[in-house]
Structure 1
Amino acid sequence: MNHFARALLRPLIGAALLVAGTAAVAADQIPVVASFSILGDLVRVVGGDGVAVTSLVGPDEDAHVFEPKPADARSLVHGRLLVTNGLGFEPWAQKLVKSTGYKGQAVVASQGVKARTMPGEKGQKETDPHAWQDPGNVVLYVRNIAAALARLDPAGAATYQGNSEAYVKELQALDTWAQEQLSAIPAAKRKVITSHDAFGYFGKRYQVSFLAPQGISTEAEPSAKEVAQLIRQIQREKIKAVFFENMSSPKLLAQLAKDAGVTPGPALYVDALSKADGPAGSYLQLMRHNVMQLVAGIRQN
């Protein structure tokens, strides 16, 4: 959070304690704050009518570079449960908790996930936070969310459990379908270029090789040498599957695609949902959209 954002937050934190939250919450609903839109969708599925959900980072927004606003402070102060991804995805979340004096409960949705690590700057390993790109991990997410809601509302525990297990079946069906779609394409063709390195869990699950000019975070800027190496690899291996992401600036990848002589495909949805009326208004829609676009792209390799 920059100095300007901190200065803006401080005077409004006290006022946030005295005014109503921005979202209308029924008396029998639990106000839940999710760190970003994908988690918000999962909370709505598990909580059903028993929750009123606010997502701090909304559709088509980038959680990597997010800076909380006064409205976010108000939402958090009035929340009873904060749901975060963890794995280093939201470094700003704990700062927001501290600066608002949030007293509610919290759950890290990724608890229990076997995290991937990747080489980072100066040879140090970085944790890959994008665990939701594997539906098997999302099974853990929804069960963790159900357990957290049950602790807050024991009377609704059976409902949350039932909702989560019904959703687990949908996740398992999604996973089976994705496996079928991608395994039908020869492994040698399964190579994709994306804006930043966010598909590691997806790639491992479905045996797809992803390459990106940016690292795990969209804040990382690749060097000219790294971009040149990637262009040579695209040309050498004749990779045609090149995709932007909905929450990233397309400028870098557009220039890379132009220099490599390839045409980018439609946007993929990685760290954020689309608007409700878009192609990725829910997590299940996001995954189906991405799989279909990736299959169409890698068939051209």
Structure 2
Amino acid sequence: MQRRALLALSLSLPWIGHAARAQPAAILPVVASFSILGDMARQIGGDAVSVHVIAGPDVDAHSFQPRPSDAQALRGARLLVRNGLGFDAWVDRLARSAGYAGPVATATEGLAPRTMRAASGHGHGHAHDHGHGGQEAADPHAWQDLRHGRHYAGVIAEALAVADPARAEDYRARGAAYQARLAALDAWVRAEIAAVPEARRKVVTSHDAFGYFAAAYGVRFLAPQGISTEAEPSAAQVARLIRTLKAEKITAVFLENMANPATLRRLAAEAGVTVRGRLYADALSPPGGPAPDYEAMFRHNVGLLVPAMRGAD
């Protein structure tokens, strides 16, 4: 009788039944400086996180100007994910102006960066400046080596675990699974590039964003522009690159999704070569595009690079 009375009471006061159940953990609000980091945070965080990306798909993060809505998102965040190495220094200024005092995960922390010196405009191996007036500077595009991408994933997984201890093991498990996928993708990239004769592994792109890819996978990249997209290449740099294109019979010439195409189109026309498509370097594509996530970006880029380097139509 007493048990039936208690059951009737709980049914008549439904909030008592709800209160007795365990409440689901709140979604963790995360802010990422640009699209590649935002994708990684979503891959590792899953349904447990909401990610606000400041510099979104097809957006040049080199000289980005945040919006008031970005500051508002940062004020409500419990984790900020940034690249570091000078790539997204504007996000540090945004965090200060927004009064954000929470944890910051720097994806490149612990990596030994490639250094670049302002110089000749020849591309990889003849490095460019990142706005430091001829001084040596770190190349920030470390995600272009999938081994570094795995490092990024480890940093982000641990940062999520610290920011949200109740789900720490879930984040670490998802991070480990994601790293395993990136390791398999890295092996695929190496096998694809190995099918191209070494002498043919030469590519021209809009700006020098592929230095880490070049070093990791044995491809020589040349660019009329430096590792930053802020400065236009000089006429002398363009002319020198045209001579190189002709002399070395380079057939792999590509635009990038967030770079001004005018310089490269002019260069290709003067050198008598065809622009072979659009690579994704510093930003992902929108969801319906060919590179909506980090893994798809590598598959898309390599899928264009390999036939172009081999000279296939």
Structure 2 length normalisation: TM-score? 0.86
Aligned ranges for residues 92-241 of structure 1 at < 5 Å? 92-120=90-118, 121=129, 123-241=134-252
- How far the C-alpha of 1:220 sits from its partner, in A, is 2.2
- How far the C-alpha of 1:75 sits from its partner, in A, is 1.1
1:299 and 2:299 correspond = no
Q: Percent identity?
A: 54
Q: Which residue of 23, 43, 62 corresponds with 1:45? A: 43
**SS of 2:85 mapped into structure 1:** coil
Distance 1:263 1:79 in 2: 46
Gaps of at least 5 residues in structure 2 are 1-23, 119-128
- Deviation digits for residues 101-136 of structure 1, max 9, x if unmatched? 112211101111220011125542121000000110
**Deviation beyond 6 Å, 4+ runs, structure 1:** none
- How far the C-alpha of 1:100 sits from its partner, in A, is 1.1
Report the equivalent of 2:300.
289
Report the equivalent of 1:266.
277
RMSD: 1.2
**SS of 1:192 mapped into structure 2:** strand
Larger deviation: 94-103 or 277-286?
94-103
**SS of 1:174 mapped into structure 2:** helix
Distance 1:161 1:151 in 2: 10
1:30 and 2:28 correspond = yes
Report the equivalent of 1:7.
none
- How far the C-alpha of 1:277 sits from its partner, in A, is 1.1
**SS of 2:73 mapped into structure 1:** helix
Distance 2:74 2:134 in 1: 37
**SS of 1:267 mapped into structure 2:** strand
Q: Which residue of 265, 268, 271 corresponds with 1:254? A: 265
Structure 1 length normalisation: TM-score? 0.89
Amino acid at match of 1:105: P
